[in-house]
Amino acid sequence: MREHASASLIDAVRRRARSLCEYCMLPQWSQEATFHLDHILPLADGGQTTLDNLALACVTCSLKKGSRTHARDPKTLRQIRLYQPRRDQWADHFCWTPQWRLLGRTPIGRATLRALGFNRPAIVRIRQAWASIGLFPDLTPESD
């Protein structure tokens, strides 16, 4: 059975994330589709609908992540846990290139980047266009 989040919980998740996807940093203002609440530890694996287990995710990151908690690191080919916004610091695992592509700094970053498709050609072009007109600064979520 799916747990429903209260309006106040949804608002708290959005405020904490500053309305950015906590995985790929896409801003909500740039998308027509409303971002999802992602269960970091999926409900099927015992996760709960609590502030500590929820992350704001753009539709693509949410759908690509699904109930996965691990993915293959393309460098080592080992199964690695995915980035967890409540546990990990974004800048420890990811960084921007001058062309607004994301790079994985760690096995967690590389596995997450590949699994969630952070550098799809269309989104890279969108980031580049926004950056060229000053609308896409290098934003990372504030730590708790």
Please give the tally of structural domains in the chain: 1
Residue 133 confidence (pLDDT) above 90? no
Position 118 scores a pLDDT of 95
Q: Is the pLDDT of residue 115 over 80?
A: yes
Lowest mean pLDDT, pick from 42-56, 75-89, 105-119, 126-140: 126-140
Question: What share of the chain in percent tops pLDDT 90?
Answer: 78
The percent of residues in the chain predicted with pLDDT above 70, rounded, is: 92
- Residues 37 and 15: their CA atoms lie apart, in Å, by 12
Q: Domain for residue 143, yes or no? A: no
In this prediction, residue 30 carries a pLDDT of 86
The whole-model pTM stands at 0.89
Residue 68 counted as domain residue:
yes
When pLDDT is averaged across residues 117-128 and rounded to a whole number, the result is: 92
**Residue among 12, 25, 38, 13 nearest 102 (CA):** 25
Residue 78 lies in a domain: yes
Q: Answer yes or no: is pLDDT of 47 > 90.
A: yes
Q: In 3-state terms, what secondary structure has residue 96?
A: strand
Nearest Cα to Cα of residue 103 among 124, 122, 81? 124
Residue 17 lies in a domain: yes
Chain mean pLDDT for the chain: 91
Q: What is the pLDDT of residue 91?
A: 95
CB 18 within 8 A of CB 56: no
Q: Is 140 inside a domain boundary?
A: no
Please indicate, yes or no, if residue 137 is contained in any of the structural domains.
Answer: no
